[in-house]
Amino acid sequence: MGSEQLPPLKPIPIKERLSIIFIERGEIDVVDGAFVVVDCQGDRVRPVLTHVPIGGVACIMLEPGTRVSHRAAALAARVGTLLVWVGEAGVRLYSAGQPGGARSDRLLYQARLALDDNLRLKVVRKMYALRFGEEPPQRRSVEQLRGIEGARVKRTYQLLAQKFGVTWRGRDYNPEAWDASDLPNRCLSAATACLYGVTEAAVLAAGYAPAVGFIHTGKPLSFVYDIADIYKFETVVPLAFKIAASKPAMPDRAVRLACRDVFRQSRLLERIIPDIETILAAAEVPVPTASPEAVGPAIPNPEGLGDAGHRA
């Protein structure tokens, strides 16, 4: 028996969504068309279902202990919600499911700016100005601006540590040995992981490629790091030091919840995409428009294909 043809979904604009939620454990599936977390709790006859407003969330962080069905992943992609597989409390990012990925016109535009030294410098200077609230020094290369930025970042860490009474020995962490880091570094890593998840969701929603960066290069999330750094010291970094100073019993969880709240209060998702456009516009190259031929492939009843294939 075939499936009924479902009407196409119109994804909610990224700025109108919740920023990020974490799912710690459970089986993620689609039940009666709804995205749910199934928690059997030892009773598969009457499992507990928790509904997730999938279309109203920008990014879902999946922690160890979660399992995702094919139908759930397909629904997330259909509504443009980024699924990110992370370590406990988001302290490591293992993989991400891209809902559609970069648009070809935006990707070519982004690549053109990144590969031209003069255009790249204009973009980097704009990033610097947005991040520090002042124009960068004249006649400096990208590498020189990166060095100036690094020195300012180190100084900012020191000032925040003094403000909150935290012992600070510098940024030092090992992704392979999480517990080996001291408390301030653990809080910082957990906080930046949350920020990167939200930023990557916005970058993808805007149609750009996470890997094509301007300050950061050669990494899968170079552009995500570029954009996230603009907001880091006004959002998650002070938060991480404040939480480290309180020495909570579960610092990673405390950071995660605090990041969720500050993303909402600062309305961060409303800012990221317009800021990306402003940053790239600094290169003074016209933004391309989507080609009329940029349409999706013809797929027979994509929403119901899984059911039809199993029940035919």
Give the domain ranges of the chain. Answer: 14-101, 104-281
Give yes or no for residue 300 having a pLDDT over 60.
Answer: no
Query: Is the pLDDT assigned to residue 60 strictly greater than 50?
Result: yes
Encoded tokens for 1: 């028996």
User: What is the reported pLDDT for 6?
Assistant: 45
| Mean pLDDT of the residues in the chain | 82
- State yes or no: pLDDT of 8 exceeds 60: no
The secondary structure of the chain as a DSSP string is -PPPPPPPP-PPPGGGSEEEEEE-SEEEEEETTEEEEEE-TT-SSS-EEEE--GGGEEEEEE-TTEEE-HHHHHHHHHHTPEEEEESGGG-SEEEEE-SS---HHHHHHHHHHHHSHHHHHHHHHHHHHHHHSSPPPSS--HHHHHHHHHHHHHHHHHHHHHHHT-----S---TT-GGGS-HHHHHHHHHHHHHHHHHHHHHHHTT--TT--SSS-SSTTHHHHHHHHHHHTTTHHHHHHHHHHH--SSHHHHHHHHHHHHHHHHTHHHHHHHHHHHHHHTT--PPPPPPTT--PPP-SSTTTHHHHHHH-
CATH class of 14-101: alpha beta
CATH assignment, 104-281: 1.20.120.920
Label residue 7 by pLDDT band (50, 70, 90): very low
Compute CA distances 111 → 68, 122, 154, 209, 252, whole Å: 33, 14, 30, 9, 36
Distance of CA 10 to the CA centre of its chain: 21
Task: Answer with the residue of higher pLDDT: 268 or 17.
Answer: 268
Q: Report percent pLDDT > 90 for the chain.
A: 44
Higher pLDDT, 98 or 269: 269
Tokens representing 239?
């938060």
d(CA 251, CA 253): 5
What are the CA-CA distances from residue 83 to residues 51, 107, 198, 307 (Å)?
Answer: 16, 21, 11, 22
Average pLDDT over residues 166-183: 80
Whole-number pLDDT of residue 176: 65
Q: Which residues contact 297 (CB under 8 A, 6 or more apart)?
A: none
Distance CA 138, CA 279 (A): 18
Q: What is the pLDDT of residues 101-117, one digit of tens each?
A: 567 888 999 999 999 99
